Amino acid sequence: MVTHFSRFQHLLLQPRLLSSHQSRALQHPLIRTLTVIRSVMGSSSSSSSSKLLFRQLFEKESSTFTYLLADVSNPVKPALLIDPVDKTVDRDLKLINELGLKLVYAMNTHVHADHVTGTGLLKTKVPGVKSVISKASGSKADMFLEPGDRVSIGDIYLEVRATPGHTAGCVTYVTGEEADQPQPRMAFTGDAVLIRGCGRTDFQGGSSDQLYESVHSQASFHANLIFTLPKDTLIYPAHDYKGYEVSTVGEEMQHNPRLTKDKETFKSIMSNLNLAYPKMIDVAVPANMVCGLQDLPPQANL
């Protein structure tokens, strides 16, 4: 655990202190209803997933997904956003306010090249929110993560896995494996694994060799990355361009047209994509290297 988390110890509860009955009793009936974890590939959900409020949100112009997670079994209802977009910050905050959540972390999976992150704006609109990104990103932020770190909101936590290749600092956030964590597990893969695709590897320290290893490697625990997660793990990517919203590890292992290939074939595919220069990159990357608008003064809360 990096030292930055010590400030937030009050949000880190010990899940075993509450019985399932007690946990339920604490939940407001309206909020308790918002779990959307069941669903995919016939995987069952554990009783404890009822504490998770989860929403996937979409920004149409850059086809970016923002994820909202909160522990609604906790009286504070602590919440985090993964990959917020500057243009949809007001929408996200409206929803957070309506649901009675307390936004604690605004996290990024990496320094995006196709949109400006919302973390800077969020910090100005909700004083106290901490911007979070990997140390390897080289970006400015309030908190820096390294592989193996955990980010907790109430009883729910995300573990950090380094998945470089799209950029050198890409990480995947994965929910915990214990029975009291949401089941099936959820992996927020950024641009490392997209549904039936993957992020490009031709800029920002990208490397197709490294991306392949990030997805397939079983070399060590922290390199035991995406395709070695349980097959029913839900994959929530940073983008989708075809109208998909979620996949599973098992599905991508079987049907991803790039990542199912051997490494040399994958590298050849990636080096022959002939993609256009990203139209937003010259605006987005400099802004995102300082988490959007890192040092703007606080504004009134929405």
- Using CB under 8 A as the criterion, which residues of the chain lie in contact with a copy of itself when the complex forms? 29-30, 32-36, 38-45, 48-60, 66, 72-73, 88, 91, 95, 98-99, 182-184, 230-234, 242-246, 248, 250-251, 254-255
Of 2 and 57, nearer to a copy of itself (C-beta) is 57
Of 112 and 135, nearer to a copy of itself (C-beta) is 112
Both tokens assigned to 146 = 């390294």
* Region of residue 128 (left: phi > 0; alpha: psi -120 to 50; beta: else): left
Of 77 and 200, nearer to a copy of itself (C-beta) is 77
CA nearest 227: which of 160, 172, 178, 182?
Answer: 172
d(CA 41, CA 129) in angstroms, rounded, equals 35
Of 117 and 233, nearer to a copy of itself (C-beta) is 233
Q: What are phi and psi of 281, to 5 degrees?
A: -60, -40
Enclosing H/E stretch for 115: none
Of 195 and 293, nearer to a copy of itself (C-beta) is 195
Least distance to a copy of itself, CB of residue 96, Å = 12
Q: Give the chain's length.
A: 302
Of 39 and 271, nearer to a copy of itself (C-beta) is 39
Least distance to a copy of itself, CB of residue 88, Å = 6
Q: Is 137 helix (H, G, I), strand (E, B) or coil?
A: helix
Report CA Rg, the chain: 18
Span between the terminal Cα atoms of the chain, in Å? 32
Both tokens assigned to 289 = 């290297």
Of 89 and 293, nearer to a copy of itself (C-beta) is 89
Sheet order of strands, 156-162 included: 150-153, 156-162, 171-175, 186-190, 234-237, 247-248
Both tokens assigned to 225 = 């990355």
Which residues 6+ apart lie within 8 Å of 81 measured at CB?
66, 67, 68, 92, 103, 105, 106, 107, 118, 122
Least distance to a copy of itself, CB of residue 43, Å = 6
